[in-house]
Structure 1
Amino acid sequence: MTILFGLKNKSYDESITTVFSNLKEIIANMGTIFLSERLVESTTASADSSLLEARGPVWHKSDMRQNRVPISGIDTDARWGFSKTRGWIFGYKLHMSCSTGKLIVPLSADFTTANVADCQVYEPLVNSLVGLIDNIIADPAYDDGKLYRYSAQHNMRLVCPIKAYDGTPPERLELVEFYESEQGQKIYSDRKVSIEPLFEIVKDTFGVGTVPVRGLEKSASFVLLCVFVYQIAVYRNCVIGMENPRQVKCMLGI
Structure 2
Amino acid sequence: MISNWNSEHAWTYEIDPILEALFRYIDSLSLPETPYVTGRPPVSKKSLLKCFFLKTYFSIDSLRKLVRILHRFRCFQRACGLGEVPHLSTFSRAAKWFREQGFPVFHAQLLKDLEVRYPQIVLIDSTALRSSLYDSQAKWGVSTRYHWFKGYKLHLCTTAEGIILSHVLTTANRNDAAVAPELLVSLKQWDIEFVLGDAAYDSEKVRQTAEQSGILFISPINRRNSEERKDAYGRVLPVFLKTRFGQWLFGLRREIERVFNELKSDGLEQPRWYGFHRYVLHVLCCILMHNFEFLL
* TM-score with structure 2 setting the length: 0.61
Pick the aligned partner of 1:95 from 145, 155, 160.
155
1:214 is paired with a residue whose SS is coil
1:209 — aligned with what?
Answer: 269
Say whether 1:122 aligns with 2:186.
no
1:54–1:210 Cα contact (<8 Å) kept: yes
Pick the aligned partner of 1:111 from 142, 154, 169.
169
CA distance in 2, matches of 1:122, 1:220: 19
Could you tell me how far 1:11 is from its partner in structure 2?
7.3
CA distance in 2, matches of 1:96, 1:28: 16
Pick the aligned partner of 1:223 from 278, 283, 290.
283
CA distance in 2, matches of 1:225, 1:155: 31
Q: Deviations over 1:19-65 (max 9, x none)?
A: 33343675366446545357xxx22111111111103xx2xxxxxxx
Give the aligned length.
Answer: 212
1:133 — aligned with what?
Answer: 192
- The equivalences for 1:170-249 within 5 A come to 170-192=232-254, 194-205=255-266, 207-210=267-270, 213-235=273-295, 237=296
CA distance in 2, matches of 1:82, 1:14: 34
1:28–1:107 Cα contact (<8 Å) kept: no
Pick the aligned partner of 1:52 from 129, 132, 136.
129
User: Which of structures 1 and 2 has the larger relative contact order (alpha carbons within 8 angstroms, sep 6+)?
Assistant: 1
| Larger radius of gyration between Structure 1 and Structure 2 | 2
Which amino acid is the alignment partner of residue 137 of structure 2?
D
**Quick check: 212-221 or 20-29, which moved more?**
20-29
1:149 — aligned with what?
Answer: 208
CA distance in 2, matches of 1:169, 1:92: 34
2:98 — aligned with what?
Answer: 19
Could you tell me how far 1:14 is from its partner in structure 2?
5.8
**Quick check: 25-34 or 148-157, which moved more?**
25-34
1:129 is paired with a residue whose SS is coil
When you count helix as a share of all residues, which structure comes out higher?
A: 2
Q: Deviations over 1:93-126 (max 9, x none)?
A: 11111111xx322121121111111112212223
Q: CA RMSD for the aligned pairs?
A: 3.1
1:137–1:188 Cα contact (<8 Å) kept: yes
1:211–1:219 Cα contact (<8 Å) kept: no
User: Can you give the 5+ residue segments of structure 2 that lack an aligned partner in the other structure?
Assistant: 1-25, 36-41, 43-88
Change beyond 3 A, Cα 1:5–1:136: farther
User: Can you give the 5+ residue segments of structure 1 that lack an aligned partner in the other structure?
Assistant: 59-73, 238-254
Could you tell me how far 1:128 is from its partner in structure 2?
3.2
* TM-score with structure 1 setting the length: 0.70
